[in-house]
Amino acid sequence: MAPSGSESKARPLILRLDVTGAPMGWIPWQSAVVLESRSMIAWHAGDHFFTFRGGYNRASGARSEATVSSIVAVRGRARHSGSSQATPPLSNRELFRRDAHLCMYCGQECQEHMLTRDHVVPLSLGGRDCWSNVVSACKPCNHAKGARRPEEAGMPLLAVPYVPNRAEYLVLSNRRILVDQMEFLRKRFRKGSRLSSGPGRYVASRRADAV
């Protein structure tokens, strides 16, 4: 089956929800079409509809066709761990996006290759490699801080690191989000989320009290 438009490669990902409306993940349009053909889609919640056309039926001569929207609610349990409350996996790409590509010590905006994952409480002092203990740091700041806590290094954090919830993580992990998908996810951000103005526009405006 092929998309009816000419820009199949540019097709945005489809936002997959569970039947309760909780966001679960991104799926390619091909998967959405399969789900639709198996009557696995309970309802559509997106504003954008995409129609995909497949082969011709030998008997009837009719061409198969499937229409899916940009947000689909799927019956049954998701195959992966399932819970929308599960902690999202930690990776540098999403971490740097969470921190808007700013060094959380000097505030400098950096390109990805100039950023590092800094452990606020160093691993050597028992700190963990988890969302709430890591921040983006430029290489010079990471080097200057060394294996010390921020207060020991005299380098206070610009913002407290946090664990993104599922909706926030989905925004962090996809660079091509449609407006309706963004609006859907934004309503599910944590209160006061720094992503509220969209990733990349966060400005470190106040210093953290303590970490």
Q: Which residues sit at the interface with Zn ion, rule CB under 5 A?
A: 103, 105-106, 138, 141
Of residues 182 and 204, the one with the C-beta less far from Zn ion:
204
Tell which phi-psi region holds residue 169, choosing left (phi > 0), alpha (psi between -120 and 50) or beta: alpha
Nearest approach in angstroms of CB 158 to Zn ion is 10
Nearest approach in angstroms of CB 150 to Zn ion is 12
Burial 123-156 (b: 16+ CB within 10 A, else e): eeeeeeeebebbbbbbeebbeebeeeebeeeebe
Of residues 45 and 106, the one with the C-beta less far from Zn ion:
106
Of residues 152 and 183, the one with the C-beta less far from Zn ion:
152
Alpha-helix residue ranges (DSSP H) falling in the chain: 29-37, 92-98, 139-145, 150-153, 166-172, 179-186
Q: If DSSP codes are grouped into helix, strand and coil, which group holds residue 185? A: helix
CA distances from 134 to 4, 17, 84 (A): 44, 29, 22
Nearest approach in angstroms of CB 74 to Zn ion is 43
Within 10 Å of residue 195's Cβ, how many Cβ atoms? 23
Of residues 133 and 174, the one with the C-beta less far from Zn ion:
133
Nearest approach in angstroms of CB 151 to Zn ion is 17
Of residues 3 and 156, the one with the C-beta less far from Zn ion:
156
Q: If DSSP codes are grouped into helix, strand and coil, which group holds residue 4? A: coil
- What is the residue whose two structure tokens read 């639709």? 36
CA distances from 67 to 18, 49, 52, 114 (A): 19, 7, 6, 43
Nearest approach in angstroms of CB 133 to Zn ion is 18
Nearest approach in angstroms of CB 139 to Zn ion is 8
Of residues 106 and 163, the one with the C-beta less far from Zn ion:
106
